[in-house]
Amino acid sequence: MNQSASTVRWLTDPPLDGPTNMARDEALLQRVGGGQSPPTLRFYRWSPATISLGYFQSYQDFASLPPPAATLPVVRRQTGGGAILHDQELTYSLTLPLDHPLIDKGNPNDLYDRVHEGFAAVLGYLGIAVSRGAPPRACSHRGPFFCFEQHTCFDLIVNGHKILGSAQRRTKQAVLQHGSLVLGRRHEQQTCAAVADYCSVAMDCYLDRLASAILHDYTGRQDALGPGELALADQLRGKYEDPAWTRKR
């Protein structure tokens, strides 16, 4: 793979609703896997606050939650793991073909380490010292309902509380990894750490530093989604706003 093909563009989306965010991630997974789009690091936010269910989670577990969580919009992710309450956070997705140099020796699990090390470096620069969680290696749908209530060996932890976690979806051609950095908390169900607990910063001012810390020599220029990607995402959005998809389990 030549350098131009291995360079990862990065982009920032405005705050979007749950179905649109999940559709854009899936569109990138399909197009990067098909060679129609370049490797992409995407930063994004959520509006309104939304619960995302892991692919294998029961919808009834969400419906039985006490307020305010059960009153929030809900979307089902294409990745596994526990539910996440997306509100005041920075979300990222990194989509790469399986032969990309960032997937060391073809092992997509290494992406967890690479991405989380990048976040840890930037958080350390901001004065927030993080550590790693403990096994098991992935959020389980048999564990707590909320993913941030349990730790994995990849997660970033501050004073015993999770501040960053990620999940993956893999195809035969590509891998999508996305995750959430909690910036602040407004809901009692968020029993996690947050950047605002330790410093007052606008993370948007550090996205270029974060992209460089994650991608190192493979960082490309800041970019935006193209017409083909947006068109595919518009088609896929219908799936994520369909109650049949959300309540499939």
Contact 82, 143 (CB under 8 A): yes
Instruction: Indicate the Cα dihedral angle 142, 110, 182, 92, nearest 10°.
Output: -110
Catalytic residue among 139, 147, 153, 199: 147
Active site residue 147: yes
Cβ 171 vs Cβ 187: under 8 Å: no
CB-based burial label for 247 (10 Å; 0-12, 13-18, 19+): middle
Residues contacting 144, CB < 8 A, separation 6+: 82, 150
d(CA 118, CA 210): 6
Give CA–CA dist 197/190, Å, rounded. 13
What angle do the packed helices 227-240 and 18-33 form, to 10 degrees? 130
Q: What is the dihedral of CA 222, 224, 228, 233, to 10 degrees?
A: 120
**What type of residue is 154?**
F
Q: Is 19 helix (H, G, I), strand (E, B) or coil?
A: helix
Nearest to 184 by CA among 15, 26, 31, 49: 49
Catalytic residues: 147
